[in-house]
Every structure is written in structure tokens, then in C-alpha cells.
Structure 1
Amino acid sequence: MAPPDNDRPGSGSSGTPGQGSSGAQGSSGGFGWLYGKDGAAEPPPPAPRGRPQPDQPEATRVMPVQPRPDGAPPPRTAPRGSSVTPGRPSPAPAPGGAAGSGGTPPPPPPPGGGGSGGSGGSGVGGWFARRLRRPRFYVRTVLLVLLLWVVYTVAVPFVTWSTSEQVAFEPDGDRPAEQDGTTYLLVGNDSRAGLTAEQRKQLSTGNPDVNLTDTIMLLHTGSGPNVLLSVPRDTEVDMPGYGTSKINSAYARGGAPLLVEVLENETGIRIDEYVQIGLGGVADVVDAVGGIEVCPVERIKDKAAGLNIKKGCQTVDGTTALAYSRSRKQSALGDLERVRRQREVVSAVGTAVLSPWTVINPVRWYRLNKAVPTFFTFGEGMSSVGAAKWALAMTRVDGTQGLTCTVPVTDGSATTWDRDRADPLFGAIADDDTDRITDDQCTPNGVRP
């Protein structure tokens, strides 16, 4: 027989403090099993050990949220360490099995094919491809090319011209005082030394023992127009130690110092620098610049000089240019016409040297400067900068930017100078006041107009 209800533990009639009817009622709601009440439900099954399922997160790891006013359920919060994004369904595994771990498909390759050699890779090819897409790459490349070109253009003359031979040219004894401006003596030596038999035949130079200066020019630069003045080779002068002789024999007898002494005594002009050109130098320089334009005023056929050229302007090579500047027997004025053609060739070479194509073309620029030390000789003390100044001055005597003259002579024989016109011309150069030179004093062949 079961005991009455009031005799059971927790009965309200037992008078036990803290246990009234309300306590029994509360115990029978869900915890009756704990008090041994009849009909109580079995205890809930224990929670499975291990990691909580994604849809049932552990209660201690879920942060409480405030209920929303509209009654919508709060978003689910993924437990710490879970790879599931809250509010998003997990991706379905790829058909046929997953390529990666956990059934997640591999990420798509980057654009461009990827890989170390592709344009979008991280290798050398990809790095270079990315550089090509940047505007700064092209700007820097252009600047680098320009810098290298400037260095090359400046360095080549300094390197090649520094190897040129230098000779003493200043005479002993009294000389004219220092003068304003700069006066260069340009000598075309007719020496065949250094030329092979084949070269002498090609250039029609003849006797290899000849050592005369058939080209003698004074180039003055200063405050006024540049002046290129030719001295006729047959001029008779007082030559110290040799009496009266033709001026072109001074070099063969006493070298550059004797020639400078004779010219300074006859003109009163102090010579500051000396430049000597061999026969082969003219041909090489002309060929290096791609030829020059000359304008013969008549047809010339000179077998001795190896020249056969028609009348009118035309482009000629080095061999023809040299023959054109040496020929004298087929012209009525002889040597006076020859010195005019020599100045024409010099001016044409200067124009070609300064043409943009000569400077821009690295091959032509190198050939031009390489020809200098082979056939050019400078006076002692001539620096590379001084040689460059001389070369630049030679480009400014083409008749439009400077004056080209022949020493005034009394007649076509060119043996005697016309002192009435020659001395004022010499004085203007010595005073560096070339603006006062008149047309009567400066003529192409030295004959009074």
C-alpha cells in the first residue's frame, strides 16, 4: 500500500520549511526525476562529446543577441574556428569528388595563364610584361638612350683626337705681340708619306718624296666675321737663311716653325694654333661624311690630278674632292683658282660635318673622328677642346657666315702681293676688327675686281 502524499519527501503537509505546494509543482515540471516523483520523464540523454555541429553551436560560445523589433530571427553565428560563413550555405561538393581537401574545388587560375613564365606570373617573364605596361618604363628607356647617345657623341672626339700627333710650330726670336681673337694656320701637306703605292695611284699623287705645302690658309675667329684667307703657294717671300724663295718651300726647309716665322714677318699677324692635313685626310674625311657638294664653274679634265668633272653643282666622293682641290693646270688663273676651290672644299666639309645626320648616325660619327688622328697633326698645346673649336670655326666660312678671301696679288702670276690692299686686310685681322674688311680687299682669287 503506497504511503500518502503528505508522507513523501517534499509534501506540503510535512511542514518542512521551504517546501510547499509550489515547490512540488515546480519539481514536477521537468525535474521530477530528480525528486523521484512518479511518472517523471527520463533524464535527457547526455550531449555528444567532441566538436559541436554547425547547426547546434555550443551554448557557451554563442553571444546573446537582442531580439529584433520586427520579430525576425537573429542571424546565426558561426562558432569560433568554423569555416562556415554565417548566413551563407556551405558550398556543395564538386561532382565526382573534390580536388582539394574537404571537397572544396581549387580556385580558378589568375588571368593571363599564370605560371612563372606567363605574363601574369611572378617569374621573370611576368615581371617584364608588367614593366612593359607601365608608361614610366618607356620614358626611362628613352632617357637612357638619349644619355648614352650624348656620352658617345662627346666621348668619341675626345678619345680619337687625343691620339693625334702634335708638333712644335712656334718660332724662336721676336714675334708679333698677343692679339685679340684666335688665328689658326691650316697647312695642306703634299707629303705622300704613309700612303701605299696603290693609294698614291688612286689619289694621283705621284712622287712619294715630295714634301711641299701647296695649301696654306689663315683662319681668324673673333668679335667679327670669321675670315678664311688663302696664301698663294708661288708667293715670293724673304725666307730667313734662304733669301727670296717661294713660300711653299718653307716647310720642306725648316718645318712648321720656319713657315710660321715667314708668315708672321710678312703679315704682322700672330699665329696662335697650327693644324696640318695630309693628302689622305681630305679623302677620308669627305668619305666619312658621305660625300660633299661642289660647284665647278667650268668643266675640268686634269689627268695629272686625276680629275674629270663636269660643270655645275654635284656630290663627289673623297677621291674626286681631293683631285678637285689639287688641280691647277687647266684653269686660266692657275693656282689662284685652285686656292678658291680648296676653300670651297673646306667649307663643304664643314657643312657636312655639322649636318644632323652626321651627328645622329653613330657609324658616320665614328668614321669621321677616326679619320682625324690618322691624317691630322696639331700644334703643341692644342687640346681636344681647342681642336673642336677649330673644327666648328671651319663651318662658318662658307661665304654666308664668314669671309673667304685670297691674299691680294698684283696679277695672275700670284708671285707678288698687292700691298695697297693686302696690308689693310692684314691689319683688320691683327686688330680683330674684320668688319672693316672691304670687298676690294677680300676677293675669291686675290685679283682686283
Structure 2
Amino acid sequence: MPQPPNPPGGAAGAPPPPPPSAGPGGSGRPDYKVYRSSGSLSRLRLGDRLRLRRSRGERPRRGGERRRITPGRVLKIVLALALAWIVVSAVVFVVSAQTTRGITDRAEEALSGEGNLLTGSTILVLGSDERSQRIQEQLEAMGQDPGEGGRADSILLLHVGFGSVQRLSILRDSFAEIPGYESQKINAALFLGGPPLMIRTVEGFLGNGLRIDHLIEVKFADFPDLIDALGGVDVTAENEICAEGFDGAGEGFDLAQGEHHLDGQDALTFARVRSNPCAPEEDDRDRAARQQEVLSGIRSQALSPTSFLRLPFASWEAPRAIRTDLRGPGLAALFGDLLTGGTGETTVLEPTGPPNGDGSLPISEDARAQAVDDLLGR
């Protein structure tokens, strides 16, 4: 009788293994026993895993352990904080601009209302003699423009468009026709009729189709606060300066030739010096150059990394140093263009003849027309 084949691994002639026993209740399923590994075996496997991680250069992480700080992670944190600081500064600037008094209705009506800061806009910047708050309030109560009664210290035209800035400075002693009055020094227009008359006078003086779209009046009383918020400005004195103090201060202003770092009040005095006994040959062109030196210093200081932490404070003071028809985002866009619009030199409209008997400076019509073409990029 043939014998069944031996099971694998079984010895020849060995009896077959017994059938699997039935589970509880006779269900017919095999009855398995569960074995648990000993603690030493678990520890051994954990140790193997730790040794494997060490061999791969990995550091074992424990419960609650922080992630490792890497240069890339630090850079991301720094960039995020810097971006947040810039956003805060922008919000502060817009809020300050919205709460700052603008120009009068009469001055706004004299503007063309055309142009924008993207396609191109012409802006008249007037720096006038410093006046007390009491006098300004009295003029407003009488229905007069606060600019009336003071003469323009500086007259600057900006043509701003999509990051490009062109500058034209008009000497305050330039001989000009003033509508409704006799021809005289152009800065008298602000004294006679405030910003509205000054706008019409500048447009007629330059001609060649120039229209003024926006107006900025620099308030000298608040200018030092902006400069101090930036930490001062760097300027270069081309000549030694020795001048009397302003506004009855009774203190002189002395500055050696060369580079200086000035606080707000000294920077303002530096820009306003009219007569310099230490350099009697200076004229209004030197004064205009000093004013541009201060403006360039403000721009450089605002872009300096050392001023980054001061940014929100400067953003609050900047709109408060001026009066303008621009508001919030428009003013922020203008300041952005001024900061990023290059460091090109300001063109000064030079006289084309000897001074008149009253000290006014004649400028030919051709020179004025060419200045407008250069300003507008024609």
C-alpha cells in the first residue's frame, strides 16, 4: 500500500502531525497563543533606532523639543518683521496725512485739477516765511489765505510721474508780471494774494503751456520735527557761514566750510540764510543751492538703513510739515516717487541779464520756455 509523502522537513517514516485543535466552543478555528516581547527586547530595538539615527547624522527629538534654528529660518523671520514695520509706517503716514489740514478752497480752485502721479503731474512747492500760529488764525478768521502777508522763501516746481522726478527752481527775486499788480519780484505774489495768486503768477511767468496740478506749502515751523525724527541730515557748506539768528532769536549761526550733520533747527537756519557776511559774494542762487542740499539730505537720510527704526516716527511727521491738496494715498505716492526718483540735480532758472534797479532778476522768454520743456521732458 503506498505511503503518503512526508511533510516538508519531516523525517521519513514519522507519523503525520495531529490536526489543528478546534478553538473554544468547537468552532474549528485554530487556537493561537499570543506572545509579548520582553522589555529588554523593546529597549534593544529602541537603541537600534537611536544608533541608526546617529549614524545618519540625525539628532533625536524629545517631546516638546523646539525645531533647530537655521540661518534660512532666521532670515525669513527678519524679512517678515521688516515688512510688518514698513506696513505700520505706511498706515501711520496715511493716517497723519488724513488728519493734516489742506490748502484753502481758493488755492485748490486755482489748480488745473489735471494730471496724476502715474502719467505725470506738475507740483508747485512753496516755502514761505515762518509765521506764528496766531497770525495764521487771524488771517483765516478774516477770510484771507494764511499765505497772504508773507513772501515766498523758495519756489520749486516738480514734475513727477511713475518714479521719475524733474526739478526746476525759480529764484525768488526773478522779475515777473503779477496779475492785477505791477511787475516786480515774483516772491511778492504770495504777499499780495496768497497761494492762488502765486499759482497764476508762476503759470504766466513760465508760459509754454505749463499748468500746475498740485500745491505743497512747506510749513517751516514743523520742518525741524521731521528732520529730528529722521535723526538729522548731512549737508555740505560750500562757504563758511556766519549769519544772524532768525525770528528775533538773538543768536547767530556760524558754520565752517565742509561737511556737517545738522539737527532740525540748524538745518532750517542753514536753508534760510539770506545774507552771509563771511561770503558777501553769495546771492539767491547760493541760497537755493543750500535749500536743495537740505532736501537731498532728507531724502538720503530717509533711505539710510540707520533710519529704518525711525520710519514710523518720520512717517507721522512728514505730512504735518506741509499743507497740500493731496491726501492719503496720493501724498504717499508722491513721497515714494520723491524717494525713489533718482538723485538728479535741480535745474535753477538763471537770470539772463543784469539786475534791475529794484534788484529783480530778468529772465528771457526763451530761457523760460526752454526750462518748461526740460521740466516736462519734451
2:224 is aligned, of 262, 283, 302, to 283
Q: Work out whether residues 178 and 270 of structure 1, in 8 Å CA contact, stay in contact via their aligned partners in 2.
A: no
Other-structure match for 2:198: 259
Aligned ranges 1:22-33 → 2 under 5 Å: none
Runs of 4+ deviating beyond 6 Å:
133-137, 175-180
2:373 is equivalent to residue 428 of structure 1: yes
Other-structure match for 2:98: 162
1:301 is aligned, of 237, 242, 260, to 242
2:281 is equivalent to residue 340 of structure 1: no
1:405 is aligned, of 348, 364, 370, to 348
Other-structure match for 2:143: none
Amino acid at match of 1:241: G
Change (3 A) 1:132 1:430: closer
Q: Work out whether residues 190 and 210 of structure 1, in 8 Å CA contact, stay in contact via their aligned partners in 2.
A: no
Change (3 A) 1:409 1:321: farther
Secondary structure at the residue paired with 2:361?
Answer: coil
Q: Work out whether residues 171 and 348 of structure 2, in 8 Å CA contact, stay in contact via their aligned partners in 1.
A: no
CA RMSD of aligned residues (A): 4.4
Q: Work out whether residues 190 and 197 of structure 2, in 8 Å CA contact, stay in contact via their aligned partners in 1.
A: yes
Secondary structure at the residue paired with 1:271?
Answer: coil
Change (3 A) 1:390 1:264: farther
Deviation of 1:262 (Å): 0.9
Secondary structure at the residue paired with 2:373?
Answer: helix
Per-residue deviation, residues 193-242 of structure 1 (Å, max 9, x unmatched): 349xxxxxxxxxxxxx9733211111224699843222222334332333
Change (3 A) 1:228 1:82: closer
Q: Work out whether residues 162 and 337 of structure 2, in 8 Å CA contact, stay in contact via their aligned partners in 1.
A: no
Change (3 A) 1:411 1:340: farther
Q: Work out whether residues 222 and 321 of structure 2, in 8 Å CA contact, stay in contact via their aligned partners in 1.
A: yes
Aligned ranges 1:218-237 → 2 under 5 Å: 218-221=157-160, 226-237=165-176
Per-residue deviation, residues 324-355 of structure 1 (Å, max 9, x unmatched): 11101114233332112112211221222223
Secondary structure at the residue paired with 1:313?
Answer: strand
Q: Aligned partners of 1:371, 1:340: CA distance in 2, in Å?
A: 24
2:152 is equivalent to residue 213 of structure 1: yes
Secondary structure at the residue paired with 2:123?
Answer: strand
Change (3 A) 1:404 1:431: closer
TM, length-normalised to structure 1 = 0.58
Secondary structure at the residue paired with 2:127?
Answer: strand
Change (3 A) 1:136 1:297: closer
Per-residue deviation, residues 136-169 of structure 1 (Å, max 9, x unmatched): 9767645643542443344333333333322143
Per-residue deviation, residues 361-390 of structure 1 (Å, max 9, x unmatched): 2x31012111123221112x5552344335
Amino acid at match of 2:156: M
Q: Aligned partners of 1:432, 1:136: CA distance in 2, in Å?
A: 45
Deviation of 1:424 (Å): 3.4
Q: Aligned partners of 1:224, 1:135: CA distance in 2, in Å?
A: 34
Deviation of 1:417 (Å): 2.3
Q: Work out whether residues 174 and 186 of structure 2, in 8 Å CA contact, stay in contact via their aligned partners in 1.
A: yes
Bigger drift between 283-292 and 219-228 goes to: 219-228
Identity %, equivalent residues = 26
2:145 is equivalent to residue 239 of structure 1: no
Other-structure match for 1:22: none
Per-residue deviation, residues 165-208 of structure 1 (Å, max 9, x unmatched): 221434559x799798422111112233349xxxxxxxxxxxxx
2:377 is equivalent to residue 419 of structure 1: no
Other-structure match for 1:392: 337
Amino acid at match of 2:349: T
Deviation of 1:278 (Å): 1.0
Bigger RCO (CA 8 Å, 6+ sep) = 2
Q: Aligned partners of 1:336, 1:402: CA distance in 2, in Å?
A: 14
1:315 is aligned, of 233, 254, 261, to 261
Q: Aligned partners of 2:39, 2:287: CA distance in 1, in Å?
A: 99
Per-residue deviation, residues 293-319 of structure 1 (Å, max 9, x unmatched): 222121111023442100012222212
Q: Work out whether residues 410 and 417 of structure 1, in 8 Å CA contact, stay in contact via their aligned partners in 2.
A: yes
Q: Aligned partners of 2:74, 2:255: CA distance in 1, in Å?
A: 50
Q: Aligned partners of 1:324, 1:226: CA distance in 2, in Å?
A: 24
TM, length-normalised to structure 2 = 0.67
Deviation of 1:120 (Å): 3.4
